[in-house]
Chains A and B, each alone.
Chain A
């Protein structure tokens, strides 16, 4: 028994390392597909790793007014997102780290990271930072309830808020077309787009002063601090990708801890994320960036969809 526990914890650690290690790859993939689709010369798939390595090597430049909070924030943000990644089942279910935090705590980790990032934006005392923080907190205060609503739909169906258990429940239920899940999927996807700062809410590639949100907050970061924040952003995107992939299409995830099942798990999640990445690119290519004050409508719609999902669950699907 102790041996099994040690093995399980070891596997959980490996899974987490794989998660954070693969996150830049997903970002590189999205970038590459996007360039191809828009007829631009594409960077290499491993370009994000090179960028991170470069930033880690560079000297640390801080603004004159930066306090200790500004320097601590990258570590807190990174830690929160690594913890979040540890609790999301990537290739195998029932890992011991999944019990540290359920899906509500996962949302809490995102909120913790966002809180400190927004504070860091205000720390220097430039207008950009404040603007980014204000917009980020505005968007978050609308997207967080929508996300929890979508998650609650899942929790009410599976009778648990533990992600691993919920995915297992979905896996056991087989291919059932649940209207509630369809709504929750749409809601969660819209939230994911807003939270990860993708088009049409925010443009990860922009440095145009009046439109940037996330980039405005991290404008004063450089060197290792910036690397940690960029990496954390990539992990966040991957977490949302894995959540959507594994909750709604759990097939292929390893239920037992043997080599064959784990191998299938790795291939399955890689295939799912590849597909999701392409979908995201298509979406970002055909949609234009939205004005800031259109964002509440977008997120309100996401909330409404998630709410509909929850109501459908309560009204139509009780007892199943």
Chain B
């Protein structure tokens, strides 16, 4: 079977996983059928993607679907193959995880088969976006993905917050889709047809190419969650069931990145470096903004959602660097940036998927998303705690796990700035690297907070104190992703050896030197300039454990109460809280957030009596809401009111409008 046929199997299996459970009478079996089909879909996607990527083949076909004059064109090349693998990996993990996780919803008031239906079409839609080879089928698939994910966001529609999040999401998805559609429109005008092949051949003038780029960047960026058009993301991602959050954050944002890469690197043939500057600046802004907002969140899933904005920013920074170098005539350096971006796409899918599944596991056993109500889970849920730790280390970009590799590659790309002619760019790139460094350091602080407050210390509530380990299926899903974090971190040379087919396709350049020194050494530019050997790092850490645990003579261990300053036993309430942990950073970067903080002290008698009660309220709001969204909403309502003046409600007035319109049209025609 050709790779393309396997890709069809993946799409069909995903769609069937939504439809078949409706026909199965018993809910238990329905779930099993759905997730088994999702697993089939995931494996098929991985196989199809891997065979396209390693074989470096491009398969194209016309399907007898769609409009009479525009059949659906499909194409599977190395770029879409790579994204097939990204989707497949996360879907596979969720198909292990889902059956147990959804058991909780079976007794709820919402029928989980609706969830199956929406998630099946959601995944099928994403896979179709990757396969689409003309603007028409691309937009159809894109909308299937958007609408299905809207249903996922509003699955628990009994909460007003979920309905609001769903509406905001749908609205912004549609505005973004208009941007994408117009972008395709510009290209189709010059290319003469809606197929991507025609668009590639179209001779687009530089100014129109920039217009098309701006439209596409806006449209895809809105879906990817870049600032300032990110507002839907921290609302929508936390309210879906956790395995769907993993898919939305880990995978759907990547499909938007895929669209952006396809549009910019593939369809717009001549890249301009100015685009790169825009992408780099917005990427750097998103990264810093995302991590600063993530740092102050209390809600675990909302925190992860803001962290997705950060990671999309990092990916955009790498793409921006790549565009700058390609546009400036340095395709080799552009290829490093592109590989870094793709590596981070894969990494973020894996570790963010893992972290969302982990947060789902916590939610499943404690019914708590608020960090202040958790604590001590490392004793109660050892496997979840261990894999969550792997995710935290990976997302904090620490060696030897995978997040570090991609950030290291981005640093290496940025440090090639002296190759550029333009002095401003030569300055800008290292500053962007400094922003990335700040982002990385803040991300590490964020995930120390998350892990330290939720999993370490003592349980802060009864729910957390009585948590149990999650069922096996959920553990398998998480362990799978954690193992991938380690593998992708330790064997970067092997991974890069495979994905460097993508820069070959998009900018006609490979990274021959990256893998030239064997699997042990990663040398993106040349060994004199930089090298990194992740396997040796892992070996050294393992060795130190071996020496510490085995070779040193064992000492007896005595357990005692911790130091309490001599006052009596410590209680759970005396632990550092998430708010307290974040306070120094909140104070240092104060202008970033809209913070409302209130402290009420109640005293029994006069003003200098000792306080009897203390009440602290902290509300942190997204500044972009106040600066951007509320004014726009205000204007829209204002404009609607102004237009509403012509709606008199009387039939005669409307007849007059029709008559005048008719006259006007007749005048135009004659």
Contacts and interface: CB of A to CB of B under 8 A. Distances in A.
Interface string B600-630: 0000000000000000000000000000000
**Residue in B458, B548, B558, B585 whose Cβ sees the most chain A Cβ within 10 Å:** B548
Interface string A57-89: 001111111111100101110111011001000
Given A65-B458, A125-B456, A165-B528, A76 B541 contact: yes
A137 interface: yes
Interface in B513-571: 521, 527-533, 536-537, 540-541, 543-545, 548-549, 552, 555-565, 570
Contacts of A126: 562-564, 570, 574-575
Nearest to A157: B418
Interface in A125-179: 125-131, 133-135, 137-138, 140-142, 144-145, 148-149, 152, 155-156, 159-162, 165
B442 to A, nearest CB: 5
A134 B576 contact: yes
Interface string A193-226: 0000000000000000100000000011001100
B567 to A, nearest CB: 11
Interface in B574-611: 574-576, 580-585, 587-588
User: How many B residues touch the partner, as a band?
Assistant: 35 or more
Interface in A83-129: 83, 86, 99-102, 104-105, 108-109, 111-112, 114-115, 118-119, 121-129
Contact of A129 (B418, B437, B555, B576): B576
A104 B575 contact: no
B441 A127 contact: no
Interface residues of A, number: 82
Nearest to B577: A130
Contacts of B433: 148, 152
A108 B434 CA distance: 14
B457 interface: yes
Given A112-B398, A125-B458, A160-B530, A75 B452 contact: no
B580 A134 contact: yes
A125 B572 contact: yes
Interface in B279-330: none
A4 to B, nearest CB: 17
Contacts of A161: 411-412, 415, 529-530
Contacts of B12: none
B10 to A, nearest CB: 37
Contacts of B118: none
A55 to B, nearest CB: 11
B532 A293 contact: no
Contacts of B34: none
B438 interface: yes
B378 interface: yes
A82 B264 CA distance: 45
A52 B82 CA distance: 52
A119 B434 CA distance: 25
Given A148-B437, A314-B430, A156 B576 contact: no
Contact of B408 (A61, A68, A105, A155): A105
B552 to A, nearest CB: 7
B427 A108 contact: no
B623 to A, nearest CB: 20
A10 interface: no
A130 B581 contact: yes
B448 A118 contact: yes
A80 B400 CA distance: 10
A61 B557 CA distance: 6
A155 B415 contact: yes
B423 interface: yes
Contacts of A148: 411, 433-434, 437
Contacts of A144: 437-438, 440-441
A138 B427 CA distance: 27
28 contacts: A62-B560, A63-B561, A65-B457, A69-B389, A69-B456, A75-B545, A101-B533, A105-B537, A112-B398, A112-B399, A115-B444, A119-B451, A125-B457, A125-B458, A130-B575, A130-B580, A130-B581, A134-B576, A138-B445, A140-B441, A144-B441, A148-B434, A152-B434, A156-B430, A160-B530, A223-B555, A224-B555, A315-B423
**Closest 10 CB pairs between A and B?**
A130-B576, A122-B452, A79-B544, A125-B457, A137-B445, A141-B441, A144-B441, A63-B562, A138-B584, A145-B437
Interface of B: 375-376, 378-379, 389, 393, 396-399, 404, 408, 411-412, 415, 417-418, 423, 426-427, 430-431, 433-435, 437-438, 440-442, 444-445, 447-449, 451-453, 456-458, 521, 527-533, 536-537, 540-541, 543-545, 548-549, 552, 555-565, 570, 572, 574-576, 580-585, 587-588
Interface of A: 59-69, 72, 74-76, 78-80, 82-83, 86, 99-102, 104-105, 108-109, 111-112, 114-115, 118-119, 121-131, 133-135, 137-138, 140-142, 144-145, 148-149, 152, 155-156, 159-162, 165, 209, 219-220, 223-224, 228, 292-293, 296, 303, 307, 310-311, 314-315, 318
